[in-house]
Structure 1
Amino acid sequence: MPVGSGHDAPGARGGTRPHGGPAGSPRGGTRRARRRGGDRRADRRAARASIGKRGRTVRRLWPVLVAALLAAGCAAGGAEGPGGSEPEAAPASRGPSPVRVRVVRLEPGPFVEFLRLTGTTEPWTEVQVSSELGGTVREVGFDEGDEVRAGQVLARIGDDLAQARLDRARAELTDAESDYGKIVELVRRKAVPEQELTAATARRDRAAATVREAELLLERAVLRAPISGVAVERLVEPGEVVPPGAPITRILKIDPLKVELAVPDTELGWLRRGAPATVSVDAYPDREFPAKIHFIAPDADRDSRSFRVELELPNPNGRLKPGMTVRARLEKRRVEDAIVVPMDALLTRREGPVAYVVEECRAVRRKVRLEATEGGKALVGDGLVEGDLLVIEGQDELTPGRPVRTESCP
């Protein structure tokens, strides 16, 4: 080998490096090792990035692949069953699911239908008290609004003069009776003719009549309440001089009260005298007052063509007053053994009201004919019978034949 061709020859294996020691030195080897390590790390990062991209791509495509495999499996299964047999039939449909409902068993019961009207309270009796004779008002025995009793003294008008007339009439009667007694004795003795006895008898009778007249005048000078009730006016005061016929007060009898109603002729046939009724007023919204039919007019009003009906309304405590507007409820008819259902249990269809009943755990629709409704209940004329299981909750979700769930149909 020529001299100088050994390891020190320039450019051998890696050539000359501008920076650093000789190629064979320890420092140069370390740099090369680091460079090769960095290259390997870069390669690994690139590989991981490529795998990540492929993984994301696979995840995005995975649902599509699964759907395609399922479709292929269904097509293969539909073409041929296991072992080359004919395709299996699809399972039968289970039908609509049962509906949870609540039912009641129908039993006969009472049904009462009412006629509702508006009316006005009136005093049972109203009396205008007036002075028949006239004269000076000597006494007034009541105040406006007082309750008075029948026979109670209301006023004394000119009773002093009436008393004086009575005293004079009684004195004259005493004289006439004395003269009559004397004449009777003289006639018995035949001392005077019979004509004297006739004249004495007439004078005695006239004196007695004068006394009765004076007693009546005195009685009528003292004004008394003709009925028990409330004195709603006081029209005179002591010391006044009033003429004959002057009004003194007005007395209203308010126990019982009278309720006047106007009943259409189409409803009159349901009503009868003595039938029960109830009355309510706005002043006592939570109370109802019992009443009864007292009078039914025999003829209609010519203008309204309605009939006047009066109710007798007891008013022992005087809470109700004349002139109140009231709502009256009159009993039209009562059916004892009736099929009565809640209105909420009925459905409105094109053919009319219908109801659902349960038969063999399935819904059966019935067309129902109603005769009357009252207070949220209906009187059934046809379509439902005693013993039917009427659906009262959940009927809106039912169709004919649909299965149901109840306590007896779990």
Structure 2
Amino acid sequence: MNQKRPLAKRMTIMLLCVGLLLGALVGFNLFRAHMFAKFMASNAAPPETVTAITAGYQSWQPQLLAVGSLRAVRGVDVTTEVAGLVREITFNSGQDVKTGQVLVRLNDDNDVALLQSLKAQADLAQTVFNRDKAQYDIKAIAKAQLDADEADLRNKKALVAQQAALVDKKTIRAPFAGRLGITTVNPGQYLNPGDAIVTLQAVDPIYADFYLPQQQLGQLEIGQTVIVDTSAYSGRTFAGKILSINPKVDSNTRNVQIEAAVDNHERKLLPGMYANVKVDAGAKERYLTLPQTAITYNPYGATVFVVKPGTRPNAQGKVLPVAQQVFVTPGPTRGDQVAIMKGVSEGTQVVTSGQLKLKNGTSLIIDNRVQPADNPNPSPQEQ
């Protein structure tokens, strides 16, 4: 009995020593893991500063885009049908004129004198015809004499009308109402038939001619609203409506020509200008949108980085959000915006700039003091 007690005592001491050894080993491993984690945290990649936006839905008006050319409703270079010396110019360059307003008078002294002579001859022929008709009524002359007098009267009247038309052509008038251009013609200058005097343009309204692919014909109809803008007036748009759709498609380009009338009561738009044309096509639609800078296009698809809550504190003990790359399906674009058809849900926070520095799990610092462009209708400077 006395021999068993020292044995039990030694066994207890041995077990205590083994327990202490195991406890020390476990404690050392825990301490090492803690120190390793602390070391890794202190040596982790620093967080990246990015901008981010919360994805949300917006109403979009589907539009067809084209580049067109502006053309006057009526436009002509005013010329002269007859040669002559310029006696008087009755307009100023850039002036608005009415239909029939006198623009230029050519020297017509000789023509007017000849007209008066022909009128005198016609009056004499009329007198002769009237006298001979009275004599014919009493059978004093033959019917052949009266017929000759009548033919001579008609001939004289035709010569008067011809000369009167020539005199009238020496006064050049505006064929329609519009705005005159700049002229280089001066009094005393000799003009030949067909010489241009000044351009005349009717610009209110003004036509916009543009082309669209044949596959968009089904979205076009007479009376559709169009919006026109030009680089000459940054941020300014002009409204109009489609007037005509060419019944023939160009066999070389498979495009169809469209003509629209654009309101131009301020006379801002001028013929010959190019213009960006947007045609409202169909009812408004609702799309989840993001700035185009948020999308990264790769050979294997389009991706964005979404902001996810972090799980581990950094060296300073802060838990920062992290980046996670996801695939998306982009849709139509509008200005600086792009529609997202699949991959991102409403309310998701998406990185809009700084993606080149990111990978999955990168810690983020979000600084939105300077945001990338997100305008559905940017001005040309922003484009």
TM-score of the two chains, using structure 1 as the length reference = 0.58
Q: Does 1:141 align with 2:90?
A: yes
Q: Return closer, same or farther for 1:120/1:391 CA change in 2, 3 Å cut-off.
A: same
Q: What does 1:203-222 align with in structure 2 at a 5 Å threshold?
A: 203-222=152-171
User: In structure 1, how many angstroms separate the alpha carbons of the residues matched to 2:205 and 2:350?
Assistant: 50
Q: What does 1:158-173 align with in structure 2 at a 5 Å threshold?
A: 158-173=107-122
Identity of aligned residues (%): 27
CA offsets 1:12-50 (integer angstroms, 9 cap, x no match): xxxxxxxxxxxxxxxxxxxxxxxxxxxxxxxxxxxxxxx
Q: What does 1:322-361 align with in structure 2 at a 5 Å threshold?
A: 322-335=271-284, 340-343=287-290
CA root-mean-square deviation: 4.0
- Look up the SS of the partner of 1:218 in the other structure: helix
User: In structure 2, how many angstroms separate the alpha carbons of the residues matched to 1:124 and 1:217?
Assistant: 30
Q: What does 1:357-396 align with in structure 2 at a 5 Å threshold?
A: 374=334, 376=337, 378=339, 391-394=346-349
Q: Kindly tell me the number of residue pairs found equivalent between the two proteins.
A: 282
CA shift for structure 1 position 303 = 4.1
Q: Return closer, same or farther for 1:177/1:332 CA change in 2, 3 Å cut-off.
A: same
Aligned to 1:250: 199
2:234 pairs with one of 255, 277, 285: 285
Preserved contact between residue 131 and residue 157 of structure 1 (Cα < 8 Å): no
CA offsets 1:183-225 (integer angstroms, 9 cap, x no match): 1111111111121211111122122222221221121111001
Larger Rg: 1
Preserved contact between residue 113 and residue 333 of structure 1 (Cα < 8 Å): yes
Q: Does 1:274 align with 2:223?
A: yes
Q: What does 1:43-82 align with in structure 2 at a 5 Å threshold?
A: none
Q: What does 1:399-410 align with in structure 2 at a 5 Å threshold?
A: none
2:150 pairs with one of 201, 209, 215: 201
Q: Return closer, same or farther for 1:172/1:369 CA change in 2, 3 Å cut-off.
A: same
CA offsets 1:158-184 (integer angstroms, 9 cap, x no match): 322232222122211211111111111
Q: What does 1:88-167 align with in structure 2 at a 5 Å threshold?
A: 111-167=60-116
User: In structure 2, how many angstroms separate the alpha carbons of the residues matched to 1:340 and 1:241?
Assistant: 67
Letter in 1 for 2:212: V
- Look up the SS of the partner of 1:334 in the other structure: coil
Preserved contact between residue 113 and residue 374 of structure 1 (Cα < 8 Å): no
Letter in 2 for 1:328: V
- Look up the SS of the partner of 2:234 in the other structure: strand
User: In structure 2, how many angstroms separate the alpha carbons of the residues matched to 1:279 and 1:317?
Assistant: 14
Letter in 1 for 2:283: R
Q: Return closer, same or farther for 1:247/1:111 CA change in 2, 3 Å cut-off.
A: closer
Letter in 1 for 2:133: V
Letter in 2 for 1:248: I
CA shift for structure 1 position 307 = 2.3
User: In structure 2, how many angstroms separate the alpha carbons of the residues matched to 1:347 and 1:236?
Assistant: 60
CA offsets 1:281-320 (integer angstroms, 9 cap, x no match): 2232222110222232222335433222222122111122
User: In structure 1, how many angstroms separate the alpha carbons of the residues matched to 2:157 and 2:111?
Assistant: 16
Letter in 2 for 1:392: G
CA shift for structure 1 position 369 = 9.1
User: In structure 1, how many angstroms separate the alpha carbons of the residues matched to 2:169 and 2:301?
Assistant: 76
In structure 2, list runs of 5 or more residues that go unmatched: 1-19, 28-53, 305-326, 352-383
TM-score of the two chains, using structure 2 as the length reference = 0.61
Q: Return closer, same or farther for 1:334/1:369 CA change in 2, 3 Å cut-off.
A: farther
- Look up the SS of the partner of 2:100 in the other structure: coil
Aligned to 2:139: 190
Q: What does 1:282-321 align with in structure 2 at a 5 Å threshold?
A: 282-321=231-270
User: In structure 1, how many angstroms separate the alpha carbons of the residues matched to 2:135 and 2:59?
Assistant: 90
In structure 1, list runs of 5 or more residues that go unmatched: 1-63, 72-101, 355-366, 384-389, 397-410
Letter in 2 for 1:203: D
Q: Return closer, same or farther for 1:352/1:230 CA change in 2, 3 Å cut-off.
A: closer
Preserved contact between residue 121 and residue 321 of structure 1 (Cα < 8 Å): yes
Letter in 2 for 1:297: N
Q: Does 1:223 align with 2:172?
A: yes
Preserved contact between residue 113 and residue 373 of structure 1 (Cα < 8 Å): no
CA offsets 1:255-286 (integer angstroms, 9 cap, x no match): 22222222222323322222111011223222
| Bigger relative contact order, structure 1 or 2 (CA pairs below 8 A, ≥6 apart) | 2
